Structures are given as C-alpha cells and as structure tokens.
Amino acid sequence: MAMAEAVARAGKESFRTGVIAVKCGMTAIWDKWGARVPMTVLWVNDNHVVQVKTEETDGHFALQIGAGQRKPKQLTKPELGHFRAAGVPLKQHLAEFPVTEDALLPLGTELSVRHFRPGQYVDIAGITTGKGFQGGMKRWGFAGMPASHGASLSHRSLGSTGGRQDPGKVFKGKKMAGHMGAVRRTVKNVWIYKIEPERDLIWVRGQVPGHKGNFVYIRDAFYKKPDFSVVPFPTYAPDEDDDLSALVADFGEVDPFLEE
Amino acid sequence: MASSCIRQMATLSLSSRVTAAPKALKVVGLSSPSLTPAVKPFLKQSCDPLNASFQAALPLKAGGRDKFIVFAQAVTTTPETEAEADAPTVTEASEDAPVAAPKSKKLMKNVKHIMQSLQEDALKAANEVKVIPDIRPGDVIQLRVEVPENKRRVSLLRGIVISRHNAGINTTFRIRRVIAGVGVEMVFPLYSPNIKEIKVVDKRKVRRAKLFYLRDKIARMSSC
C-alpha cells in the first residue's frame, strides 16, 4: 500500500497531520509516586481525510480532516457533494492541517488515536469558553483601585488611558473592557499520558481550551518535535491483528518527593 | 357534543368501509373545511382495524392524487400501498445521496457516556486493589496515611467524619479533630493510594449529612 511505503520517509523538517478530537471532560489520576495528576479526556471521533490540498491545485500542502457524524438532511447539497467526492461518510466538523509534502495522505484515510504515542508532546488548539463582556480586571489582569480610603465609584475601573496634550489621543490597542473568550487558542507542549484504541480516547495531562463537547485540534508539538522512529509517520497504518489494549506512558524513575 | 362527534369520526375512520357514507361524518357546528374533501380519498383504501398503523401526513403517490392531507389518519399497510410508498425513496437514495451515515447519538450524549464509563472503570479497578469501608458522617475513623512530602512516613490520624462528597473516583471526606486545643480539619480522597488503611472506630448518631455545626460547638464535641 502507498501508505506502507510512505512510512519512515520522514526528514528533519517533516510535519505530520493533526487530528480532530472532542473534549469529553476532566478527571484526575494518581501517578505511581502518589501525586495527583489532572487529566483531560479527548475522544477522536471517526477522523477521515476529506480533501488533499497540494501546491499545484491550492498553493500549499494541507489535509482537510473531517470528524464526527451527520445525517444527510442536516447538510446542504454543496456539502453533501463535497463528502461524496471524497467517498467518506458525512462529517460534522472539518478542519485543515498544513503538512509537508512527504506527510500527505490519500483521500479517505482513517486517522486513529494511534497516530500519537504516549509520552509525546502535542499542541492542542480549540475555541475557548466564552466569558462575554468583561472588565479590565478579569480580561487583562488590571489591579483595580482601593476598596476604601476615599476611592469614589471606581474600584474596578481602568484608571488612566494615556497622557495629556501629548500625545493627545488614546493609542490603538489600549487594553480596555470588552468581549472575552470564544477565540481560538493553543495550549502548547501538552503531555500525552494514555491512548485507548478500543474506545478512541487520548488522555492528556492538564487543561485544554473550551468546554465539554468542544472540537479541539491536536498536532505534534512545535517546540518539542516527536521522534519519527517511534511515532508513526505519516500516520498509523492499521493491521488486522492489532493489539487494541491501552498504551500508557511512564511517569519516570525518579521519585519527585524524595529528591532533596 | 363536539368531542363525542370527534370520537365517532375516529372510530368510523378506523373501521369504515368504502360504503361508509361521508354523510355520517357531517356534523353540525364543526367547521373544518379540510375534513370532508380529505376523508374521501382515504376511504377508498380497504380498512383493516387490526393492522391500522397511524402515520403522519403522507403525500399519496399513486393514482395521480396530489392532495396533501394535513391531519393524521389511520392508514392501512396493504402490500400495494407499501410498495408505492417505498419505491420512490429507494431510487432517490441510490442516485443522489452520498454514503449513508450510520445511526449515531447526539455528541454530548456520547461524551457524557464516555466520562461515566471511565468513572465506573476507575472505581472497579480501585475496589479490586483495596477494600474501602463505607464511611458516613458521624463515624469516628482512624487512618494510616503515607505522606509523600514527609519522606513517606506513615502517620496515624484520627477524627470524626464531618462530610462526604461523592464524585466517583474523586470522592472525598473530611475529618475533624481537636489536637492540642486547636480544631484541625483534614480532607482526603477516599480512593487515594496514599491512604494505607481506614478503620471505623466508633459511630455517632447524627441527623445531618454535613456536620459543619461542630465548628461552632465546644471542643469536646469534636475530640475523639
């Protein structure tokens, strides 16, 4: 198969595709040293490659991945045609991941959780929880003003917004109250603890942007690149007799409590 | 009177034959313009009350009938009518529709189910390792706790359970004790591997789930 040939062709500059997952919720586990580790559970729900973008056709190399399920009546005719052209089931969410040319995958390839390995670092992007219109203290971390000692009607206000006649204006980008949240943010260098191929789950340490049910985009960490001799490149090639048991990362050999 | 007439109409539509005259269904005082013209086409089908299946308004296919009937009526499922109803939809699916999606639940329902099953798995695994006694508010318990920060020494702690917060694997309980004249409260996760042993020493009769009132009482109530 073409994908079997593509495996282990990775160079130093190669960048693989990412994966779309659903944030299921948070929990916590005890590691082998007895410390409490917060965990986020991410569910990789039916990811397929829906479109392959190349330099000749679109000007850059990218893969459009689809996730989830959808009924035909919930999609418009152009959207139905888009999925029909790829020959994939109908998807709820589409996202594009820029890749290098050697990491392109054929149309309709299924991406599973085994695309990643426990112990790897990833960047997770998602739309953060919306907070609405918020003041300067919450939005920008301003200190506010004293609660007493004569401060009149301005305990949480911004204070001064600039000079006087020079410059005679408020600079653009002045931090002020406004809409907060509901923007795309990336959490970097998140450590993968556990991968469950049977239930399509990835456990990561720490927090991930957004609320439960949010679609998040998991990609290899940019500043802690994975080792492609361990991590499958360009993606995991499934086999008939695959071991579907969970893979768990090790927390290290040094007891963090006993070191002085 | 109107309600009894409606019931009469309903029973008539279930068991009526072709000869059942629309005249019988004309009721004085019930103005429903869609009723009389709509009844006629339906009555042309032979009605079998035992196999009558209620279907929502279906546009009738055969016979060039293009009236869209708005209210629900008993429609029989004879082989001919079923074939007529099924045939057009099947051809549509093969020509235009893309790969059909498998039946799936709503996203949040799946998400909640995943978290719930993970909690159940964690509880099952924890119960296999260690037997955790049932701890209730009012129990005086004795704990052997390994403190990782204190060079892993096992300390013996004692106190009255003043609250239990249930959250699956993250269930916690609080114990209170007066030590050297100072009231001390400690919170522990029930399934923590650092708790080596829990022993229930005494049970006090309490009439609350949370015994936070002990904070305002004299020290003797919290000492054990």
Residue spans of the domains in chain A: they are 1-140+179-238
Q: Which of residues 181-240 of A touch B (CB under 8 A)?
A: 199, 201, 212-213
Identify the domain containing residue B202 by its residue range: 135-221
Q: Is the peptide bond before B102 cis (omega within 30 degrees of 0)?
A: no
| Contact list, A34 vs chain B (CB under 8 Å) | 146, 148, 192-194
- Flag whether B166 is in a domain: yes
- Flag whether B181 is in a domain: yes
Write down the pLDDT at residue A235. Answer: 84
- Those residues of chain B that have pLDDT short of 50 are 2, 5-6, 8-77, 79-96
- Provide the number of structural domains found in chain B: 1
- Flag whether B5 is in a domain: no
Whether residue B108 lies within 8 A of chain A, CB to CB, comes out as yes
Asked if A89 and B115 come within 8 Å (Cβ–Cβ), the reply is: no
Residue listed under structure tokens 């920060």: B149
- Flag whether B206 is in a domain: yes
- Flag whether B50 is in a domain: no
Q: How far is CA A70 from the centre of its chain?
A: 22
> Å from A71 to nearest chain B CA?
6
**Topology, domain A1-140+179-238:** Elongation Factor Tu (Ef-tu); domain 3 (2.40.30)
Q: How confident is the model at residue A69 (pLDDT cuts 50, 70, 90)?
A: very high
Write down the pLDDT at residue A151. Answer: 82
Please report, for residues A125, B157, B190, the alpha-carbon distance to residue B174 in angstroms, rounded to integers and kept in the order given. Answer: 38, 12, 10
H or E element in which residue B184 lies: strand B182-189
Closest CA to A119 of A193, A189, A187: A193
Closest CA to A95 of A136, A151, A50: A50
- Kindly report, residue by residue over B21-40, the tens digit of the pLDDT: 444 444 444 444 444 444 44
- Kindly report, residue by residue over A109-126, the tens digit of the pLDDT: 999 999 999 999 999 999
Whether residue A98 lies within 8 A of chain B, CB to CB, comes out as no
Write down the pLDDT at residue A203. Answer: 96
Q: With 50 as the cut, is the pLDDT of residue A91 above it?
A: yes
Buried b (16+ CB within 10 A) or exposed e, A3-34: eeebeeebeeebbbbbbbbbbbbebeebeebb
Q: Which of residues 35-64 of A touch B (CB under 8 A)?
A: 35-36, 41, 43, 45
User: What is this model's ipTM?
Assistant: 0.85
Closest residue on chain B to A92 (Cα): B107
Q: Which of residues 158-197 of B touch A (CB under 8 A)?
A: 169-170, 189, 192-194
Chain-wide mean pLDDT for chain A?
Answer: 90
- Flag whether B51 is in a domain: no
- CATH of residue B177's domain is 2.30.30.790
